């Protein structure tokens, strides 16, 4: 009996010692890593041999080896905790609003608003679409470079071509407070027309070298895009040892998205409306195919994200627009917790100013009800027949995200029936 206990105790003590040793090893390795970058390459073979004898933890040792063998400035940044956030959405999902959660973070964050707009524009074919394969590759490469604060590749897609890294034409520059910072604000040049100019201060055309330098100074970087179709195409970014990427996928009820599109592009959907009113016009099959394609892409991306394959582990978060609209403060806090970046008072203040979250926090239910009214306005604009079309082609997508099907006009417009199921969508 005694011997048995003694063995256990020795075993536990052994584990404790090994654990302690591991901590020391990782601390030593961190120190070495941060010191080494400025110096000539270190050849720590003797050191490694000594450690190998300990072999307390295979993980720590291999990590240490990798760090010593492959030290670069970017890896050092990653070790320091630099986060690379990609906010991925589709149009009309409230992504500009959610992007502000990061844009408003303050001096720590370099935020870019839709840089891929230029890429899509240049790759648009005469047919009006893009070659999806070619576009996906270009999006991936440009995002990867931008996350490393390198604008060189993006420059190739900006029209007119930047001269000496200066452009007056960066799409929606003013939507990125980082690009209108003092440090990125060059003197105004008379006679240069700037379609997208800073509002916070008067600045001349954007000097992308300055932008890149400013980006490197910031602790974190966030990019919002509605152009990436499939999350899987960004896998190389998650696996890039220079990056520590966090993907946030923002989704919204496809019926609401379509309702919003029908308001924005009235002419395009004229036939749909007439068809819904019972007139004998054919519904545009091409648009139906596109709708299905979009829903399928969004669902496939989310399915991969929620499955959490090793390359995405702890890197993926799914957010529903409807939850953000109803509980902006709570959801913003969750998003920040997921990214591992402090949720600053600036962001909180911005959310308070721009939503009714103050009342959410104090638990006044009328506010929540009001917000859900806003969120569910589409239910009174979208003809039931069209809601049925969306349910037919986007059924699995609705199901996955917890959007309830409606089976009658009455149910569609019955405010007492919520179409948003409470659903736990993340496992990180």
Ligand X SMILES: *[C@@H]1O[C@H](CO)[C@@H](O)[C@H](O)[C@H]1NC(C)=O
Residue 77 or 394: the one with the smaller Cβ distance to ligand X is 77
Euclidean distance between the first and the last CA atom of the chain, given in angstroms as a whole number: 43
CB of 71 to ligand X, least distance (A): 9
> Of 75 and 346, which has the nearer Cβ to ligand X?
75
Instruction: Name the segment binding ligand X (CB under 6 A); options: 76-84, 93-101, 150-158, 399-407.
Output: 150-158
Q: How far is the CB of 327 from ligand X (least distance, A)?
A: 14
Q: Is 358 in the site for ligand X (CB under 6 A)?
A: no
Q: How far is CA 166 from the centre of its chain?
A: 27
* One of 34, 131, 354, 418 touching ligand X (CB under 6 A): 131
Question: Cα angle at 368 between 364 and 372, to 5 degrees?
Answer: 165
Query: Considering beta carbons, is residue 50 or 131 the nearer one to ligand X?
Result: 131
Site for ligand X in 49-68 (CB under 6 A): 52, 55, 58, 61-62, 66
Q: State the nearest-atom distance from the C-beta of 55 to ligand X, in Å.
A: 4
In the complex with ligand X, the residue whose CB is nearer, 374 or 381, is 374
CB of 76 to ligand X, least distance (A): 12
| H or E segment and range at residue 207 | strand 206-207
Kindly identify the residues of this chain, within the stretch 233-262, that bind ligand X according to CB under 6 A: 241
Residue 316's Cα: distance from chain center in Å?
Answer: 9
Answer for which of 13, 24, 69, 293 binds ligand X (CB under 6 A) is 69
Q: Is 78 in the site for ligand X (CB under 6 A)?
A: no
Half-sphere CA count of 66, side-chain side, radius 13 A = 12
Burial class of residue 276 (count of CB atoms within 10 Å of its CB; 0-12, 13-18, 19+)? buried
For ligand X, the binding residue among 210, 288, 306, 425 (CB under 6 A) is 210
Minimum gap (Å) between residue 75 Cβ and ligand X: 8
- CA separation for the pair 98, 77 (Å, rounded): 26
Residue-level length of the chain: 428
How far is residue 54's CA from residue 351's CA, in Å, rounded to a whole number? 52
Residue identified by tokens 């980006």 is 215
Crossing angle of the two packed helices 2-36 and 73-80, in degrees rounded to 10: 130
230 binds ligand X (CB under 6 A): no
Q: For ligand X, which is the closer residue by CB, 173 or 299?
A: 173
Residue 134 binds to ligand X (criterion: CB under 6 A): yes
Minimal distance, residue 179 CB to ligand X, in Å: 13
Token code pair at residue 115: 């840089």
Closest by Cα among 304, 335, 322 to 374: 322
Q: Is residue 310 helix, strand or coil?
A: helix
| 380's tokens | 């009174």
Kindly state the number of chain residues that form the binding site for ligand X, as judged by CB under 6 A.
23
Nearer to ligand X, 152 or 408 (CB): 152
Dihedral of CA 157/159/165/169: which sign?
A: negative
Binding mask 153-172 for ligand X (x = CB under 6 A): x----------x-x------
When computed from its CA atoms, the radius of gyration of the chain, rounded to whole angstroms, is 26
Residues 360-379 close enough to bind ligand X by CB under 6 A: 370, 374
**Which residues are CB-contacts of 376 (< 8 A; sequence separation ≥ 6)?**
415, 418, 419
Q: Give me the 271-310 binding string for ligand X, x by CB under 6 A, dash otherwise.
A: ----------------------------------------
Beta carbon of residue 281, minimum distance to ligand X (angstroms, whole number): 31
Contacts of 9 (CB under 8 A, 6+ apart): none
- Of 61 and 347, nearer to ligand X (C-beta) is 61
Minimum distance, C-beta of residue 378 to ligand X, in the bound complex (Å):
15
37 near ligand X, rule: CB under 6 A: no
Exposed (0-12), middle (13-18) or buried (19+): which is 133, by Cβ within 10 Å? exposed
Task: Point out which residues bind ligand X (CB under 6 A).
Answer: 52, 55, 58, 61-62, 66, 69-70, 131, 133-134, 145, 150, 152-153, 164, 166, 207, 209-210, 241, 370, 374
């Amino acid at each position: 009996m005694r011997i048995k206990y003694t063995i256990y105790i020795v075993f536990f003590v052994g584990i404790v010692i090994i654990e302690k040793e591991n901590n020391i090893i990782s601390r030593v390795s961190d120190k070495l890593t941060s010191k080494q970058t400025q110096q000539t390459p270190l050849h720590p073979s003797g050191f490694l041999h000594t450690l190998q004898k300990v072999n307390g933890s295979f993980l720590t040792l291999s990590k240490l080896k990798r760090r010593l063998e492959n030290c670069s400035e970017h890896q050092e940044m990653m070790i320091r905790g630099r986060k690379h956030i990609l906010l991925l959405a589709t149009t009309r999902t409230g992504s500009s609003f959610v992007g502000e959660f990061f844009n408003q973070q303050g001096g720590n964050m370099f935020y870019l608003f839709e840089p891929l707009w230029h890429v899509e524009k240049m790759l648009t074919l005469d047919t009006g679409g893009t070659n999806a394969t070619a576009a996906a590759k270009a999006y991936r490469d440009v995002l990867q470079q931008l996350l490393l604060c390198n604008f060189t590749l993006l420059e190739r897609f900006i029209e007119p071509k930047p001269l000496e890294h200066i452009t007056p034409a960066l799409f929606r520059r003013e939507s990125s407070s980082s690009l209108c910072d003092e440090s990125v604000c060059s003197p105004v040049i008379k006679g240069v027309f700037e379609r997208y100019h800073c509002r916070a201060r008067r600045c001349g055309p954007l000097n992308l070298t300055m932008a890149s330098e400013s980006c490197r100074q910031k602790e974190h970087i966030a990019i919002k895009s509605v152009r990436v179709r499939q999350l899987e195409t960004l896998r190389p970014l998650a696996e890039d040892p220079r990056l520590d990427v966090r993907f946030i996928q923002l989704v919204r009820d496809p019926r609401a998205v379509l309702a919003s599109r029908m308001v924005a592009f009235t002419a395009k959907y004229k036939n749909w409306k007439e068809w819904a009113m019972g007139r004998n016009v054919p519904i545009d099959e091409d648009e139906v195919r596109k709708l299905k394609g979009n829903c399928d892409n969004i669902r496939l991306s989310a399915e991969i994200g929620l499955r959490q394959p090793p390359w995405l582990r702890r890197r993926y978060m799914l957010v529903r627009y409807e939850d953000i609209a109803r509980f902006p403060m709570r959801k913003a806090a969750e998003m920040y917790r997921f990214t591992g970046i402090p949720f600053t008072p600036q962001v909180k203040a911005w959310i308070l100013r721009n939503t009714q979250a103050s009342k959410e926090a104090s638990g006044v239910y009328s506010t929540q009800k009001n917000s859900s009214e806003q969120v569910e306005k589409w239910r009174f604009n979208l003809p039931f027949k069209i809601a049925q079309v969306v349910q037919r082609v986007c059924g699995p997508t609705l199901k996955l995200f917890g959007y309830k099907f409606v089976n009658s006009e009455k149910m569609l417009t019955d405010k007492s029936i919520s179409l948003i199921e409470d659903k736990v969508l993340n496992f990180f």
